Structure 1
Amino acid sequence: MVLLVTSASGANGSGFGKLLAFGENGEARGSFSEDARIADPRGLGVNGSLLFVNSGLHRILALDDKGRVVRDTGALQGLNPGGGNFGPDGRYYVGLRAARTIMAFSPTLDRAGEAVLPSPVVPFPRGFAFGRDGTLFLASGIGPGGAGDNTILAFSPERTIKSSWRVKDPALSPLDLAIAPNGNVIVSSEHPFGAADAVTTVREYNRAAGELVRVLAPDHGTGFKKPRGLRFGPDGKLYCVAQDEVVAFDFATGKFLGAVVSLTGLNGQALIFFG
């Protein structure tokens, strides 16, 4: 099994612009795929033996374990995909950064996507995931231009806003969102967003009503700058990709375990375990 990380490129970070692979000890293995259709990649998802990649070339690709593209939506004008996650209905859901909404695609990638929320539903989507009961949690953060808000919305399976869910956390500025094994909502946060002295944390919220449960933070004086993608690994640890590194937390205790990957220039966006 390899750890895969999307490294963005261009105006938002000038990173590698590739899908990068790392071994069990954090050693860099280079690009997982050299297919030219993978450029400035963002979100990732796994469905069985296939890896789904959101490409900055306005397309979604499915790769096998050798890094070969086996499915391709083709270029979809204005897609501008961000994060990705599979939903309880088996479809691949993608955050649309320009349209400010979420679209669902058949895993066969052979038909048009379906918008599952209005456009724009939030000023700037910053990660989403599905709870055990089908609730869709969507982080709403600050965009690269500085506009947006800092909150998390919850939508019922019927896609209506759940008024019983409300986050009141003035220190929150979300960058990605995941569901923990206990069902709670986990968010990577950089507050204030983009500030040189921003406080970077991982924040846990109660799945039922949105109260802040606890804050996971790195040891004093360590890196953990510009946190983005979150994933739970097969070992139960919580992993977060950040600038120049991927870090891990012992989720049960909240202990910061340090960097498991270090790579200068890594403008990490999403990560996933595959293979």
Structure 2
Amino acid sequence: MQILVTSASGANGNGYGSLLSFDLDGTARGTFSADPRITDPRGLSVSADRKLLYVNSGSDRILALDATGEVVRDTGPIPGLNAGGGSLAPEGRYLVGLRSARTIAAFAADLSGAPQRILPVDIVPFPRGFASAEDGTVYLASGIGPNGEGENTIAVFDAYGTPLASRFIADDAVSPLDLTIAPNGNIVVSSEFPFRAPHATTSIREYDYATGKLVRVFTPPSGIAFDQPRGLRFSPDGHLYCVARDSVLAFDFDDGRFLDSVVRMPRLNGQAVIFFPLLAD
């Protein structure tokens, strides 16, 4: 098993602009794939059989890679796509956050055909990560955009796109940057509040899936760098990982303990993190 991280580039983070691989102990393995179609990558997701890695490329296309890093599926360029996060829905479609259109679209698992919007355009001021529960319920983090537009909450929709709650949480200390669903069904978000403030408070926050009530706050000990948190994922052993600027942090989700800054890399500017089998696994 390896840890994969997308690193932003240029105006979006001055990072490496590539898909990076690390051993579970944080040792850098280098670029997972050198395919030129992967530029300024964002969202990541792994197929249910763990054979395919879906990557949202800044070149306005979605790619699927095998364990060797070879591209095996490609939507081709989709003008104006501007994809953010990505997540496989329980029924198998690949869901993608569209930052310019302020919505979520679905692709067939084989990436054939045109994307289908599952929510209306401009459904939130600025989408900041989402996840689909086993019953099809979609939780969409509504955060602050680069130009200061937006809000700080979570919107909820049923499997048919019908709004269930426009403000699922009431938390005066959150500005969500990514969202995932925990093994216990609760909603977990990474937060930088106020967004882009010089001395923003960074944290990971867990909310009850039924009520939206704040359950816990995860933070590392004083002295551990945790700047610009972004992508969240659970490891196969149930630990919670968050990629941030220059690092990937791990927490024991059961008891809330900080475990380690697993990855330390200057200019990482991570956007998404995920676990993918090594070729020899």
Shorter-chain TM-score bucket reads: over 0.9
Alignment partner of 2:158 out of 150, 156, 160: 156
Runs of 4+ in 1 over 2 A off after TM superposition: 163-166
1:6-155 equivalences under 5 Å are 6-47=6-47, 48=49, 49-155=51-157
Q: Could you report, residue by residue, the CA deviation over 1:227-270 in whole angstroms, capped at 9, with x for unpaired residues?
A: 00000001110000000000000101111112000000101000
Count of paired positions: 275
| Matched letter for residue 199 of structure 1 | T
Q: How far apart, CA to CA, are the structure 2 residues paired with 1:78 and 1:217?
A: 36
CA RMSD of aligned residues (A): 1.1
1:195-234 equivalences under 5 Å are 195-234=197-236
| Matched letter for residue 208 of structure 1 | A
**SS of residue paired to 2:164:** coil
1:165–1:209 Cα contact (<8 Å) kept: no
Q: Could you report, residue by residue, the CA deviation over 1:13-39 in whole angstroms, capped at 9, with x for unpaired residues?
A: 110000000012110011000000000
Q: How far apart, CA to CA, are the structure 1 residues paired with 2:136 and 2:165?
A: 16
Q: From the superposition, tell whether residues 109 and 132 of structure 1 become closer, same or farther in structure 2 (CA, over 3 Å).
A: closer
Q: Unaligned regions of 5+ residues in structure 2, if any?
A: none
Counterpart for residue 189 of structure 2: 187
TM-score normalised according to structure 1 size: 0.98
User: Once the 2 structures are TM-superposed, how far is the Cα of residue 88 of structure 1 from its aligned partner?
Assistant: 1.6
2:157–2:165 Cα contact (<8 Å) kept: no
Alignment partner of 1:240 out of 239, 242, 251: 242
| Matched letter for residue 191 of structure 1 | F
**SS of residue paired to 2:11:** helix
**SS of residue paired to 1:264:** coil
User: Once the 2 structures are TM-superposed, how far is the Cα of residue 164 of structure 1 from its aligned partner?
Assistant: 9.5
Q: How far apart, CA to CA, are the structure 2 residues paired with 1:246 and 1:24?
A: 11
Q: Identity, % of aligned pairs?
A: 61
1:186–1:202 Cα contact (<8 Å) kept: yes
| Matched letter for residue 60 of structure 1 | I
Q: How far apart, CA to CA, are the structure 2 residues paired with 1:171 and 1:55?
A: 31
